[in-house]
């Protein structure tokens, strides 16, 4: 079954993609279970735009600090802008307020690069 993309919503807090159509929302192809404790860990960081998806990066480190965050931005964010022909001023860049995103070194880095 193909469902037009405008009927989809992203439930980021739950970590899975589901559809508004209640009959289909819990079928196996729409649901990815998430292990709360005792499983392995995988951190993935990426972007999405109205023009399409951006790059996704697998983080090998267990946590992200300011230096790693700046590296990820430098190697993915600006490449994404270039790929879609956008400038930093053309986009709404949202972050969740993690320490690595709100640190002074990261703010200074963004001011220089953007």
Q: Is residue 90 part of a domain?
A: yes
Q: Is residue 73 part of a domain?
A: yes
pLDDT of residue 15: 41
Q: Is residue 47 part of a domain?
A: yes
Q: Which domain holds residue 92?
A: 1-7+43-109
Q: Is residue 79 part of a domain?
A: yes
Report the SS3 class of residue 34: coil
Q: Is residue 18 part of a domain?
A: no
Q: Over pLDDT 90: what percentage of the chain? A: 12
| pLDDT band (50, 70, 90) for residue 11 | very low
C-alpha dihedral (47, 98, 100, 88), degrees to nearest 10 = 40
Q: Is residue 68 part of a domain?
A: yes
Tokens (6 digits) for 9:
């919503």
pLDDT, one tens digit per residue, over 12-57 is 334 444 444 555 555 555 555 565 565 566 777 778 888 888 877 7
Q: Is residue 82 part of a domain?
A: yes
Q: How many domains does the chain have?
A: 1
What pTM was computed for the model? 0.57
């Amino acid at each position: 079954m193909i469902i037009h993309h405008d009927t989809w919503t992203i439930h980021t807090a739950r970590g899975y993609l589901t559809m508004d159509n209640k009959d289909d929302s819990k079928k196996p192809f729409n649901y990815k279970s998430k292990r709360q404790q005792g499983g392995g860990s995988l951190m993935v960081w990426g972007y999405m735009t109205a023009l399409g998806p951006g790059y996704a990066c697998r983080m090998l480190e267990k946590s992200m600090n300011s230096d790693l965050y700046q590296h990820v931005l430098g190697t993915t964010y600006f490449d994404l802008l270039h790929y879609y022909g956008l400038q930093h001023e053309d986009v709404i860049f949202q972050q969740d307020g993690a320490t690595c995103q709100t640190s002074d070194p990261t703010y200074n880095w963004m001011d220089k690069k953007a």
